[in-house]
A and B are shown apart, each in its own frame.
Chain A
C-alpha cells in the first residue's frame, strides 16, 4: 500500500494509471456493445485508413523519440523499442499499401487480401519480439548498436517484400471474412508473446523504474486484445474490431506522452543543473572572496558586511544580519546599509524559526539556541519576517552568535542553501574569532603598557618625594648632632633649608593630587565669562613683583573677547607659565604675555628669552615629571608637574596647549587657546 502510494506520487505514473483506467473503461464499453448488438456495427470505410495512418505516424514518432533517448541514455532497451517501432512502422506502411480498397481499389502493392493479413501479423510479430527482448535486456548499457537495428529493420522490410513477392505460396489466414485455424494459431501465439512481453515489462518497470518499458506494457496489452479478436471469432467492422484499433491509438498516445514528458523532465533537469552550476560558481566565488578577506585579517565589520551581502544575494533573504553575542553587555547586530535595516515593520514574533545547526564535524558545545533565538527575534523585531533562519557561528569550539536570515514569505530551505549558509557562518565565525583574538592581544598589550607607565610613575614620584625628604632629614639630623658647634648663621641656614624642602614637599603632594584628580575627570571646572585682559594684567603684576630681576610685559589686543573658563584655573595656568618663563630665563630676561583673538577662540602666548626646548622634547614637556635634562636645567628646581597641570586644565576647557622653540638657547613660547564666551 505504501509502495503504491509512493509510486502514485510520481506524475508520470499517475498519467499512466489514468490512461490505463480510460482504456479499461473503453474496453468494458466495447465488450458491452459487442455482446448486446451481436457484434455487428456500421461499416465505416474510412476508419481503417485513418487508424492505420495514425498508427504509422505514432509508431514512427515513437521510434525516433526512442532512438533519441538511446542517444542520451545509451541503453539497449531504448534501442530495441525504437527499432521495434521502426520495423512496425515500415510493415504498417507495406500493410496499408497492400490492402485492397484501402488506398487504391485493388491495393498498391498487391490485390491479395491474404498477403495483407500476412503483413499485418508480421508487423505485430516484430513488435512483440522487439518489445519482449527489450524488456528482457532492460537498461543494459550499449554503444553503437544503431547499425544492427537498421540491419534488423532492413531484414524486416525484406521479409515484407518476400511476403508480397511469394504471396501465391503463402498459407491462407482468412476465408470469407473469418480467420482460418492457421491464422488463429498465429494470433494466439502472438497474444501469448505480447502477454509475456507485457508481464516481463511490468516486472522490469517495477525493478528499474524505466518509464519507457512501463508505457510499452500498455501497447502490448492492447495488442493482446487485438489478437484475441481472431480467437473470439470477431469480424471486420464489428465492435471488437473497432475497439481494438481505437484502443491501440490510445496505447500509442500513452507511450508518446510518456516519452514527451520524459523529454520535458530532461529539459527541466538540464535547466536546473545549469542553474545549480551557476549558483555553485557564484557561491564558491563569494566564499573565496570572504576567505580572502578573513585571511587578510580585515576588520570583522567588513567581513560581516560581505557575509550579509552574499547571504542576501545568494540565499534570497529579505533581511539578513550577523548577530554577535557580546561576552558581556549588549549584543551587537551587524546590518550593513542602514536603509536595508530592520526597523519600522510588523513584529517578527509570529515568525517560524529554523535553526541550521552546524555539521557534526564541529565538536563545539551546542550554542544556547534559546538565547540565540531570542536575540534573533529581538534583532528582527520590526521586520515583517515570516521565516527566520538562524545559523549559529561557531569557531574553535566557541559560539560567537548567529547569521540571521529573515524571509517575508515562508519557503523551503534546500540542502544547498543550508550548506552555503553554514559555510558563510563558518567564515564569519573565523573572522570574529580572529577579531576577538586581535582585540585581546591589543588589550593585554595596553594593560602591560599601563602597568609599565604606572610603575615608572611610581618610581618617579618616589624619587621626587625622597629628594626634599632627604633635605629635611639631613639638615635636621645635622642640626641635632652638631647643633652647638655650628655658627648661628649656619643653624639659621639649615632651618631655612628645612622650611623650603617642607614647602616643596607640600607643593609636590598638592600638585600630584591635583593631576590625579584631573586625570580621573574629578576636577570641578566652573565655566563662566572671564575677561582675559584683566586677568593677564593681574598675573603680570603679581609675578613681576616676585621676580624683580626679570621684565614681565603684557600685550593684550584691544577689544579682546571674553572667554569661557574657570577664572581660578585659568589664572593658575597663566601663573605657572609665567613662573616657568622666569625660572628658565637668565636675570634681566624679558617675558611677554600676549592675548589675541584666534578663530573661534582666544590665543594666549607666554614668550621668554630663556633656555629654550630641544625639538624632541616639545611635546613631552607636558608629561608628568618630564624634564629637559641638561647642565643648565639641573640647577633649576621644579616639581615636574606644572606643565602637566596646565595641560589638564586647558584640555578640560576644550582648549589646546603647545610649546614652540627654535631650540636650545633660543627661548621658548608656550601658547594655549580658550573658547570664546558665547552666552549673553
Chain B
C-alpha cells in the first residue's frame, strides 16, 4: 500500500515536471520579427509604404522605419502585440494603430510587411519566413576559449 502511494506520488511529480516543460515550450518560444516598410505587389494589388512607421512593442520604441527600411524585434510566445505609429507623409500627423498577431510556432524568423498588413492583405501576403543564408566558414577549432575562471597556466 505504502509503496503504491510512493509510486503514485513519483508518477504525479514526473507528470508535473513534464507538464511544466511542455508549458515552457509553448510560452517560451522565441521569435525574431522583421518589420518591412517596403511597397509590395501581390494578387494584383499594390500596397504602398507610408513615409515613416514607428513600431512600439511593450510601450517601447523598437524601430523607426522610413520607406524601404527593415527593423527587428525579439518576442516570446505566439501572441504578439504592437502599436504602429504611422506618418503617411512628411510633416503629417502620426496615426496610432494597435495590431495583434498570432505567430506560427515553427518559424524562428518572421518577416512582416507592414504596408500589406495595414492594407488588410491576407496572412500569407504580409507574412513570410526569414531564412538565414548559410555563410561558408572555415572549421573553427572547438575545444578552446575562456571564461573568467580560466587559469593562465590552464592545461599545462
Answer whether A and B are interacting partners. no
